[in-house]
Structure formats: C-alpha cells, structure tokens
Amino acid sequence: MSAVPLPAADPVLEVEDLRVELRTPRGTAHVVNGLSYAVGQGETVAVVGESGSGKSVSVLAMLGLLPPRVATVTGRAVLQGEDLLTMSPERLRQVRGPGAGLVFQDPMTSLNPVLSIGKQLVEGIRAHDDVPKAVARRRAAELLGEVGLPEPDRALDRFPHELSGGMRQRVVIAIALANSPALLIADEATTALDVTVQAQIIDLVERLQADHGTGVIWITHDLGVVAGIADRVLVMYGGRCVEDGTADDVLERPAHPYTRGLLGSLPDLAAPLDPDGRVPDLATVPGLPPPPTDLPPGCVFWPRCPVRSDPRCETEQPPLVTVGPGTPGRHGHVGRVLEHRAATWYQEGTAR
C-alpha cells in the first residue's frame, strides 16, 4: 500500500484550484484562495472552519449561486465529468438537481412559506424529470416516508410553518434527494437544530448515503459532528485549506497550529483538573481571522499563530505537505492509505 494524494478513486466531484474574489466597498475580498479536493462515491468530506473562512462561499461558487456582477470565480469544479464553472446557465440548472442537492442551515428560509410541502417537492421532481403530476406526487410521498416524516401522504398538504424545525429540515433533505443526486452538500444543515434532532438527521443522511452511494460534503464548524460522520476532513482558514486528512488524523493528531487551537478551544471532559481541583481554562486562539480584503502575505494564520518561529512565516505561503504516515481509508478508499497534509512552516520540536 502506498500513500495516494487526496483525490478519490472514482470521484463524484473534483475541485481544482478554486478561487473566489468578491468586489466589496472595502476592496477586493479574496474569499477562496486555491482550494482543491475531491469527493468519492459514498464518501463524506467535512469542510471545517469558522465564519469567514470561505467554506460556504466555495460551494455557492461551484454551483453558480453567487451574483456574477460581484463574484469572480476561477479554477475547475468537475461534477461527474463536467466542469460546473464553464457550463451554460441552462445546463447548470439541469445538472443541479440530479447532480448536486443542497441543504442549508435554516429550513425556514429555504422552504417557500406559501407553498405546501407537496407542491415544493413535486416542482423539484418535475423540473428534472418529465413525469405526470400524480406520479411525481406519489414519489414525493415516498421521499417524505424515506426521510422519516410521519403520515407522508397527509404531510404533502401541509405548509412549512405547521412543521417543527427537525421536520422542516427533513423536508429540505427530501427535496435535495428528490432527483437522487450523486452529491449532497449540507451547509451547516444541523446547526440550528437541537442535539437530539441533529442525531436523527445525521442518522438519516448516513442511511441514505449507504443506500444510494451519495457523496456528501458536510460543511460545519462543529468538530464533534465531524468526528461522527466524516471520512476525510478539510480545515479552512482565510480561504485556504490549511490541513486535510482522515478524521482520525486531523482530529486526533492535528498538525496545523490553527487546527490545534480550534480543538483546544472545545471543552474536553477528559482534561485533567487544575491543582486547585477546578476544570482548567480552555485554550484559545488569540485575535481574530484576517479580513479577506486584507490577507497577510505568507502564512494566513501567521498573525495569530502561537508557535510562529520560522522566518518564512511572514513572507512565504507554506504549501500543503505530508505531515504523517496517513491512515487507511474507509468508504471508497478501502485498502488504501490516505494522506495527512498540512500547510504550515511549523515543525514539531521547533516551537517558539
């Protein structure tokens, strides 16, 4: 077994050097700066980062959902052999449903409040599949049953406000899955939900993924969720990937100072107590992320880095390089070793 670079064996999606610039009153915002990754069949890739890291903008850009007057998108985003970034708007519309389903954070704003659940599902199905209404309606009811909505036939005639947050998010997932997409993108899909409901939704997505072999991009800031669902993790900071690898490598053996800071700022119940018998303070990352209109030269994390020491930190952007032996892959990667990479000049033993 030899270590292979991150692209999956038979990728559903391949992103190459994706860059997004937004025109803002404060100048050009460099929101995504050279992002490359791939998602394999049945694989879950978690994209992790805090607000402003570019994680949501990167998927909006791929799907052509950014206003073209403001956004400049370059690079390649190949979904099942076709580059989304060079596609005509009509072709993109055709591809979106059966190609990629999207689930956003807030189910109340992604559903139309004045249309019944059934209308919204039927519309989604018929937009990509020319079937009679009655057939689409039957399929809609099946989908609602599949995502665990009680009494799916009656639920079709209900309106979004009549459902709870968890039920609404199930409806959004049903719509996203209506055309059996090869790729499902969940952007903070469980963030607004209670933990018990979040557990239900995660179970649901994992079950559907196992049944249909869907590739999943799960965008989140919750590293606990990542640990449970992700095959691979990509940590974003300042619009760049600063670390990637299997969930085990990135979460248990983080190499980048930012990933370490992020993990250290989570309350850990296994942490030893202070001498005075108290729970120790949380480690924090001092300062704030740089504004995308004014990124530092060199390493993007340099101004906040607690272990900066290399003279190159300030001037030279560190490349993503292998930092460990990697770990054996799971879904779609069985029998292969997946690399663990980080972009930092920091090396173990040279701290401060």
Partner 1 sequence: MSDILVSARGLEVHFPLRGGKGVLRAVDGVDLDIYRGETLGLVGESGCGKSTLGNALLRLVPPTAGTVTFDGTDLTALGRRAMREMRRRAGMVFQDPFASLDPRRTVAQTVSEPLEVHGLRSGRRERAARVGELLELVGLDPAVAGRYPHEFSGGQRQRVGIARALAGEPDFLVCDEAIASLDVSVQAQVLNLLRRLQRQLGLTLLFISHDLSAIRHISDRIAVMYLGRIVEIGPASAVGSTPQMPYTQALLSAVPVPHPELERTRQRIVLRGDVPSPAAVPSGCRFRTRCPAAFEPCPDVDPALQPVGTAPDHVAACHLHGVIGTPVDGRTAEDVSAAPVD
Q: Which residues bind partner 1 (CB under 8 A)?
A: 50-51, 150, 164-167, 194-200, 203, 221-228, 230, 246-248, 251-252, 261-267, 269, 279, 281-285, 288
Give the nearest distance from C-beta 7 to partner 1 in angstroms: 22
Give the nearest distance from C-beta 26 to partner 1 in angstroms: 13
Distance of CA 155 to the CA centre of its chain: 29
Residues paired with 218 in a beta bridge: 46, 186
Give the nearest distance from C-beta 81 to partner 1 in angstroms: 32
Give the nearest distance from C-beta 31 to partner 1 in angstroms: 17
Please answer whether residues 259 and 253 qualify as being in contact, where contact means their C-beta atoms are separated by less than 8 angstroms: no
176 Cβ contact partners less than 8 Å away, ≥ 6 residues apart: 101, 102, 103, 184
Q: Of 220, 215, 229, which Cα lies nearest the Cα of 190? A: 220
Give the nearest distance from C-beta 251 to partner 1 in angstroms: 5
Query: How far apart (Å, rounded) are the C-alpha atoms in residues 286 and 267?
Result: 17
Give the nearest distance from C-beta 82 to partner 1 in angstroms: 33
* Residue 220 falls in which region: left (phi positive, over 0), alpha (psi -120 to 50) or beta: beta
- Residue 265 or residue 315: which is nearer to partner 1 going by CB? 265
- Residue 94 or residue 200: which is nearer to partner 1 going by CB? 200
- Residue 110 or residue 327: which is nearer to partner 1 going by CB? 327
Using DSSP, state whether 260 is helix, strand or coil: helix
Handedness of CA 325, 331, 332, 335 (dihedral sign): positive
Distance of CA 103 to the CA centre of its chain: 11
